[in-house]
Amino acid sequence: MKKTSYILGIESSCDDTAAAVLRNDEVLSNCIANQKIHQSYGGVVPELASRAHQANIVPVVQQALSIANIDKKELSAIAYTRGPGLLGSLLVGSAFAKSLALSLNIPLIEVNHMQAHLLCHFIKSEDRPVPTFPFLGVTLSGGHTQLVLVESHFEMKEIGKTRDDAIGEAFDKCGKLMGLNYPAGPEIDRLAKLGNPDAFAFPIPKVEGFDVSYSGLKTAFINLVHKNSHKNPNFIDDNLNDLCASIQKTLVAVIMQKIIQAKEKYHLNRIVIGGGVAANSEIRKKLSRKAKENQWEVFLPPFQYTTDNAAMIGIVGYQKLINQQFGMMNQSVSARLSL
Ligand code: KG4
Ligand code: ZN
């Protein structure tokens, strides 16, 4: 019989302080303290994020333990995000994880945030199968846009990435221009539902291989808005839904094109999506259509595991625990940790 382990996952790489408790591969609690303070700045302010993590980490961990109904003495291991992310934010989570692991005398496990976005699909669920290897992993977040060949839980090779802005960043920057709060991705998604995606046309950038570029598209969007706002000062308000639908359609088309190309080149029929932008309804629709019409095997994460969360850190912790891959107390965090 499988040994029962309790893993505490801690995530603090950007602006969400999150803690989760897993019993093996099953999530018992998944708690997040969102930092509203960044909304009025139009983006994450690193210094404010670190301070908010410091204020939130103890209550969030306590809440995760309490919802899971276990005492910290029952924990088998602590998994934390080592990177990539904001240095000050990562330091708060890692210092807390190290101190708690030391005081409880249990293993410390370091987790790569981008691996975790893909491995969240291995969280146990009654109604979803887990992916089998190999697969094409696609991480779509506020900081990253990556195409990854995944051979096993920990054998991942990046084959493409953004050369400038991440897809989530492009959503957020276009949203900021339209006066939407940070993070603007979910709001653009909501407003786009009532808009015409063909109202405004934007060029799809041509980039070699499996890399993508989003900064030119963002500039094209800014130019269109500025040009039209000169003629009509209410241009944004008058066209908000159409602007959202049109830019969303193009942002998604850019990555869909690369997914199709990579899938063909590497003869992979299994596509696994992760990251905050995996919540986007347009990308979900496009991929679900491919699954239905072209028999792709598509894995879309449940919404609670799309944006940053600690359950995904916990599941990687569990995989590493059973493989005895432990972290070291003197290992420092890494803002630019690669896969
Ligand atoms: O993975 P995540 O929580 O944080 C990072 O690791 O970056 O991703 C956050 C990003 C933000 O840019 C946010 O605007 C975007 O995910 N996002 C969305 C949606 N939900 C979150 N973008 C488009 N449509 C959504 N529904
Ligand atoms: Zn993330």
What ranges do the domains of the chain cover?
6-123+306-322, 135-301
Distance 277 CA to ligand 1 centre (A): 4
- The tens-digit pLDDT sequence of the chain (339 residues) is 578 999 999 999 999 999 999 999 999 999 999 888 888 787 899 999 999 999 999 999 999 999 999 999 999 999 999 999 999 999 999 999 999 999 999 999 999 999 999 999 999 998 999 999 999 999 999 999 999 999 999 999 999 999 999 999 999 999 999 999 999 999 999 999 999 999 999 999 999 999 999 999 999 999 999 999 999 999 999 999 999 999 999 999 999 999 999 999 999 999 999 999 999 999 999 999 999 999 999 999 999 999 999 999 999 999 999 999 999 999 999 999 999
**In this predicted model, what pLDDT tens digit does every residue of 13-33 receive, in sequence order?**
999 999 999 999 999 999 999
274 lines ligand 1 (CB under 6 A): no
Which of 141, 214, 273 is the best mutation target for the ligand 1 pocket, counting ligand atoms within 8 Å of the beta carbon and taking the most? Answer: 141
276 lines ligand 1 (CB under 6 A): yes
Contact 312, 120 (CB under 8 A): yes
Strand partners, 298: 271
Do 135-301 and 6-123+306-322 have the same topology in CATH? yes
DSSP state of 278: G
Backbone angles phi, psi at 259, to 5 degrees: -65, -45
Q: How far apart are CA 136 and CA 61, in angstroms?
A: 33
Which CATH topology does 135-301 take?
Nucleotidyltransferase; domain 5 (3.30.420)
189 lines ligand 1 (CB under 6 A): yes
Contact 241, 191 (CB under 8 A): yes
Determine the 3-state secondary structure of 127 from DSSP. coil
17 lines ligand 1 (CB under 6 A): no
Instruction: List CB-based neighbours of ion ligand 2 within 5 Å.
Output: 141, 308
The CATH architecture to which 6-123+306-322 belongs is: 2-Layer Sandwich (3.30)
* Residue of minimum CA distance from atom 13 in ligand 1: 185
225-252 b/e (C-beta count within 10 Å ≥ 16 → b) = beebeeeeeebbeebbbbbbbbbbbbbb
pTM for the model stands at 0.96
* Residue of minimum CA distance from atom 24 in ligand 1: 280
* Residue of minimum CA distance from atom 16 in ligand 1: 276
Determine the 3-state secondary structure of 21 from DSSP. strand
Spatial neighbors of 206 by CB under 8 A, at least 6 apart, are none
CB atoms inside a 10 Å sphere around CB 140: 27
